[in-house]
A and B are shown apart, each in its own frame.
Chain A
Amino acid sequence: TQLLEQSPQFLSIQEGENLTVYCNSSSVFSSLQWYRQEPGEGPVLLVTVVTGGEVKKLKRLTFQFGDARKDSSLHITAAQPGDTGLYLCALGDDKIIFGKGTRLHILP
C-alpha cells in the first residue's frame, strides 16, 4: 500500500516570504499531481510531474519531482494572501489517492 506523507501539516507565514512544502511516498511512483483546495470547494489541479528530476514552474510556484521519483516539493516565492489554501499531492494510475495536505495561511 502506497503511503503519501505531506509536510508540514500547517504553515503560517508573512506575505512576501518564500516557502517550501513536501510530499513523500513510501515507494516509487510514475507521476504525481499537486492540487490546491479552497474552503467549501473541491481541489483544483495545479500541475502533474512525470520525469525524475523534473521541474515545472507556474508563475511564483515551482514544482520539483525527486530524481528517484519518491518525493516532490512545491516552492512558493513571495507568497501572497491569495496563495492561502490546502495544498494536496496525489498519485495513482487508477485509484488516485491524496496526502493529508499542507494548510497554508499567508498573513497580509
Chain B
Amino acid sequence: DTGVSQNPRHKITKRGQNVTFRCDPISEHNRLYWYRQTLGQGPEFLTYFQNEAQLEKSRLLSDRFSAERPKGSFSTLEIQRTEQGDSAMYLCASSFGGYEKLFFGSGTQLSVL
C-alpha cells in the first residue's frame, strides 16, 4: 500500500505529557500538511512543508507544537505539555506540487486525560 500512513492510530496520554506523531506521505509527494480536526468540525490547518522546508505555521498553533520533516520524506508532529484541549484527530496529507489533490492518512486520535 503506497498511501499516506500515520502512526499511532490512537494515543491516550495524561495532561502534561509530551506526544509525538509520525506521518509517512506518498513517496513522490513533495508537499506534506498537518491538520487538526475536532468532532463536528472541518480540518483546521496547522502547518505544511514543501520537501524539508516548513513554509507556514498557523498562528493558532502555540509554541508547544512543533513539526519537522528532516529529509523531506516522513514528518513528525510533537506536542509538549499536552492539555485537554489538545484532544482531537490529527490528520496528515500529502500532495505533489501546489494546488493538487490531497491524499489523507487515517489520522491519529489523541485523547488527553
B41 touches A93 (CB 8 A): no
- When chains A and B are docked, how far (Å) is the Cα of A92 from the Cα of B48? 12
How big is the B interface, by class? Answer: 20 to 34
Q: Verify B42–A88 contact, CB threshold 8 A.
A: yes
Q: Is the CB of B104 within 8 A of A44?
A: yes
Verify if B61 is at the interface (C-beta below 8 Å from A).
Answer: no
Q: Interface with B: A52-60, A61-69, A97-105, which one? A: A97-105
- Chain B residues positioned under 8 Å from A44 (CB to CB): 104
Check A95/B41 contact, CB under 8 A, given A44-B104, A45-B101, A45-B102: no
Q: Which of B4, B56, B101, B104 contacts A95 (CB 8 A)?
A: B56
Interface: A48 (CB within 8 A): yes
Which 3 residue pairs are nearest across A and B when measured between Cβ atoms? Answer: A42-B104, A98-B42, A100-B42
Binding site for B on A (CB under 8 A): 6, 30-31, 33, 35, 40-45, 48, 86, 88, 90, 92-101, 103
Query: Which residues of chain B have a CB within 8 Å of any CB of chain A?
Result: 4, 33, 35, 40-45, 48, 55-56, 91, 93, 98-99, 101-107, 109
Subset of 15 A-B contacts with CB under 8 Å: A6-B42, A33-B101, A33-B102, A40-B109, A43-B104, A45-B103, A88-B42, A88-B43, A94-B99, A95-B45, A95-B48, A96-B33, A96-B99, A98-B44, A101-B42
